[in-house]
Amino acid sequence: MISYCGIECLECESYLATQSGKFEELERVAKKLTKLYHTEVKPEYIICDGCRENARHSFFCSNLCKMRKCCIEKEIYSCIDCSDFPCTELQQELNLVPNAMENLLKIKK
C-alpha cells in the first residue's frame, strides 16, 4: 500500500500502530510526533488504515494533507501523475521521507 505522496503504509508508524490494535503503540507514536512537530498529538489523531482506504484516516490525512486532497480532486492515482509534480508540499514530504520518491517512480513505471 502506497499513499498518494509515495509513503509506503507498511513503513508508516501511525499505520503500524493502528494495525497493531494496541493503544500503547498509538500512545508511543503520538508522543514521538508531539516532540517532532512541537504540538500536542493525541493517540486518536493518528489512527489510520491507509489514505487510499475507505476507512479510518489520521487527523492530518483527513484534514491537512494537501497531497491527498489534490489527488482526489484531480482524480489522479498519485502525485507523480500531477502536472505540478513536484509541488512545494510534496517536496517538503520528500525531504522527510526520501524513499517516497522511489515509490512514486515505481508507480510511474
pLDDT at 30 over 90: yes
Measured distance CA(103)–CA(96) in Å, rounded: 14
- Report the predicted TM-score, pTM, of the whole model to 2 decimal places: 0.78
Phi and psi dihedrals of 2, rounded to 5? -120, 135
Query: What residues does each domain of the chain span?
Result: 9-104
Over residues 3-22, the pLDDT tens digits come to 999 989 888 899 999 999 99
SS3 call for 2: strand
How far apart, in whole angstroms, are the C-alpha atoms of residue 85 and residue 32? Answer: 30
